[in-house]
Chain A
Amino acid sequence: MNTSAPLPMAPPEAATTSARSARTSLPGRILFALANSRELMLLALIVILAGGMTIVYPKNFPTTYNISAVLLNAAQNGILVAGMMLLMIAGSFDLSVGSTLALAGVWAGVVVGWWGWPAPLGLLAALIVGGIAGAVNGAIVTRLGINALIATLATMTIYRGLTYLTAGTGVTPISDNYAAYGETVVLGIQTPFWVMLAIVVIGGWAIAKTRFFRQYYFIGGNARAAKLSGIRVERLTLIGFTIMGLLAGLAGALAASRLNSAVVSAGIGVELSVITATVLGGASLKGGEGTILGGVLGVWFIALVQNAMIITGIGVFWQPIVVGVVLLLAVSLDRYKQAHRG
């Protein structure tokens, strides 16, 4: 959406002139494009990191096993980031996704594992529970007018509590039929990855192109102006939260099926890593900005950093530090760009 911005690394006083010369030289033009598109920047970071790992650890990193493991592990957050990005674009967010995920997974387990119902009904139960949880969040935010932070902070603990109430310590095993949803391997990668890919591709297209989802950018850009322009802000916000809940329910169903076990502690802390991915991917807390592609690249980048920390032996504890530093750098770059918009 930015039309022009100076070269990011140039000192402020030289910003305009160097921006002009930057656009004429090839490396300048590349840097300029990277600074202007968070997606390109993340892609470049991913390519550099993966390329470096391939050169230094040719035996461990670029293997089918490792790559498919990274992609599979990122599938859950990839599904969630699609919904979270939609909410962030509208200037909102949902802290209860981890709890919703667990609650939905546990209900799939109860329906199939305890009641002995067929596996598809387990999946359906998870989607219904997730959708209701999301709609409740949306109703609290839009009808009661409680802001999203407080509302979903409250439902985060409520949904977690409901999860414990429903299934105590969880449901194990669920059923082999149900486990097949998450364990079937297609082209070397398990189904959750393909589900994520489908959601991200369709969702990414819809948010970028359709009239319906374009309205979310207006809501995030200026909610009052959106309302006065005839956009049904409350209704769309409610729908956004419901979509988020459905996706969390789907992620919960898949997580339970991968392990053939509905775990009550599933998804703890996942909300912040998903929000981190959206911000890395170009969303702003004020709303009005962001793409699904950016969010997914954010998820993959975080997963890749984690993988690299393990393979290099640096230690997985460094992963959150690296992610935090990259997040700060990416956002500072934006601040800088805004302050020196040409």
Chain B
Amino acid sequence: MLPRLELRDISKVFPGVKALERVSLDVLPGEVHALLGENGAGKSTLGKIIAGVYARDEGSVTLDGVPLGDIDEVEAGRLGVGIVHQEGSLVRTLSIADNIFAGRQPTRSLGRVDVEAMVARSRALLEQLGVDIDPKAKVATLSSAQAQVVEIAKALSQDLRLLILDEPTAALTLTESERLFEAVRRLKTNGVSIVYVSHRLAEIFTVCDRVSVLKDGRLSGTRQVAATSTDELIRLMVGRDIVFSRQPGEKASGPPILEVEKLSAEPFVHDVSFAVRAGEIVCLAGLVGSGRSEACEAIFGARPRSGGEVRLRGAPVRFRDPSQAIAAGVGMAPEDRKEAGLFLTMDVASNISVSVMDRVSEAGRISSAKSEALARRFVEELHIVTPSVRAPVGNLSGGNQQKVMLAKWLALDPLALIVDEPTRGVDVGARAEIYRILRGLAARGVALLVVSSDLPEVLTLADRIVVMADGRSVGELAGLIADEEAVLRLATLRAEVSAALDRSSRERVA
């Protein structure tokens, strides 16, 4: 059988990162072909190259035997290749029909939109996907699953041969996902080929025929789903060299500082429990969207809590605002330092002293000398490269910005510190220094909670690893004996499945 899609030696470089390296695979007509990999493995990038969203640097793409040149998304649509984006491309204030035919509305004379034809065709498309929604309804009124189906209908509205689904269940509940799988099976029987990008193993066994696993931008293997196993796929996803040595420090034996019990922040966090002892580094591992950042925000008072308890040194606390958490000695360095962590137009000294302004003031008056002295101390201690403590933080490199953000929390001298993605967008050198800083903090008795999507990082830093999936804490592993496979196994399976696995892994740990 002539493959619907043939990829040969596809390579793609983003500034500083080799996203894809000589990836070759093919997709048969009517086949559901999964692209599996960790965060950053290159699977979304590959999907976007097929759909013409990104241009490839090297390699060839052949569609039904016809080689394709460099095409954009519109042209790909005309050729029958559609993509349903992870982020969503719907305008919430417009109707479903308007969205499905965005920019391509059928028209009558004088360019008037032919609303009737548009609605009728939308209804037919939605029926084909097995859902019964009124195409005249606004997208804002839909559930996430329905919106996802509308996205698919939008892609299908141009007579597809090949559909790319990028993490289609990321925003869906289990039952909603079931509906989506039905729609996928129906498309398959109509002869549409589907490239199914996902990092959820369970889904692949439910709906896919073959699976290609990517690891660090390379294809590590293609398997028949019927002839493979979870273990084999996980082995294909990991198994790279760990760059940073594991240096578990003095074993933490301090008293518990931060205890979290059955913490909920609906709809993102459900019944999360763990504890961090003085001098211990606990890593929250899991996939993007598993609710780790949201759980941290709920602890820190930056997100309303809907249930559960947080204890600081044994006493229950309920922070309604970050200022209360900070007053109690809890800090949080957020994931997105530019949006939420730093004041880019302001200078290094101001950024470091923002949370301890009373310490750099005398009788309510800010002392420039004190604030600069504080900043200089940290610039020296953390090796922050900056022309002066009066230079705007926005001019610094990512790694140095990250250090400024850490300095701000070090200045607070916290009991417990939450660090969300400590090395995102940071080069290797600064990364090692940030690890050194975090270990130093722990050595001084601070309870550290680190969120990271980077498995080697988790294994490098953690004394203990708490894995989250779908908003729940699904397992706990001791840092010393954890490996990438164990973490991934917990993180990639659905919560229901992993609850069972969790018990067995606990037994193994014990």
Contact = CB atoms under 8 A, between A and B. Distances in A.
Given A210-B364, A225-B341, A3 B326 contact: no
Interface in A132-155: none
Interface string B325-356: 11100001010000111111111001000110
A221 B345 contact: yes
Given A217-B346, A221-B346, A288-B346, A230 B355 contact: yes
B323 A211 contact: no
Nearest to A287: B345
B251 interface: no
Given A1-B346, A3-B387, A210 B365 contact: yes
Contacts of A214: 357, 366
B141 interface: no
A169 interface: no
Contacts of B391: 3
Interface string A1-43: 1010000000000000000000000000000000000000000
A298 B327 CA distance: 40
Interface in A215-250: 215, 217-218, 221-222, 224-232
A23 to B, nearest CB: 16
Consensus secondary structure, chain B interface: mixed
B342 A288 contact: no
A209 B361 CA distance: 9
Given A227-B322, A228-B302, A1 B345 contact: yes
A225 B342 contact: yes
A230 B323 contact: yes
Interface residues of B, number: 34
B387 A231 contact: no
B340 A228 contact: yes
Contacts of A289: 345
Interface string B314-328: 000000011101110
Given A1-B392, A214-B357, A230 B347 contact: no
Interface in B177-209: none
B451 to A, nearest CB: 14
Contacts of A115: none
Given A211-B364, A218-B343, A3 B392 contact: yes
A212 B364 contact: yes
B339 A224 contact: yes
A36 to B, nearest CB: 14
Interface string B383-399: 00001101110000000
B43 to A, nearest CB: 31
Contact of A222 (B327, B332, B343, B392): B343
A209 to B, nearest CB: 5
A227 B354 CA distance: 11
Interface residues of A, number: 23
Contacts of A215: 357
A268 B332 CA distance: 46
B114 interface: no
B10 to A, nearest CB: 37
A230 B343 contact: no
B345 A232 contact: no
Nearest to B325: A230
Contacts of A232: 321, 323
Contacts of B361: 210-211
B57 interface: no
Given A210-B364, A210-B365, A211-B361, A231 B354 contact: yes
A135 to B, nearest CB: 20
Given A210-B366, A218-B354, A230 B326 contact: yes
Given A209-B365, A210-B364, A218 B346 contact: yes
Interface string B374-388: 000000000000011
Contacts of B387: 3
A65 B89 CA distance: 65
B2 to A, nearest CB: 53
Contacts of B302: 227-228
Contacts of B343: 218, 221-222, 225-226, 288
Contacts of B132: none
Contacts of A217: 346, 350
Given A218-B346, A218-B354, A221-B343, A229 B322 contact: yes
Contacts of B70: none
Contact of B342 (A212, A222, A227, A231): A222
Contacts of B154: none
B323 A209 contact: no
Contacts of A227: 302, 321-322
Contact of B366 (A209, A221, A224, A288): A209
A164 B326 CA distance: 48
Nearest to A288: B345
A229 B357 CA distance: 11
Q: Find the residue from B302, B343, B390 having the highest chain A CB count within 10 A.
A: B343
B408 interface: yes
Contacts of A1: 345-347, 392
Interface of A: 1, 3, 209-212, 214-215, 217-218, 221-222, 224-232, 288-289
24 contacts: A1-B346, A1-B392, A3-B390, A3-B391, A209-B366, A217-B346, A218-B346, A218-B350, A221-B344, A222-B344, A224-B340, A225-B339, A225-B341, A225-B342, A226-B343, A227-B322, A228-B322, A229-B322, A229-B326, A229-B355, A230-B322, A288-B345, A288-B346, A289-B345
* 7 cross-chain pairs, A with B, having the tightest CB-CB distances, nearest first: A230-B326, A221-B343, A230-B323, A211-B361, A229-B354, A224-B340, A229-B355
Interface of B: 300, 302, 321-323, 325-327, 332, 334, 339-347, 350, 354-355, 357-358, 361, 364-366, 387-388, 390-392, 408
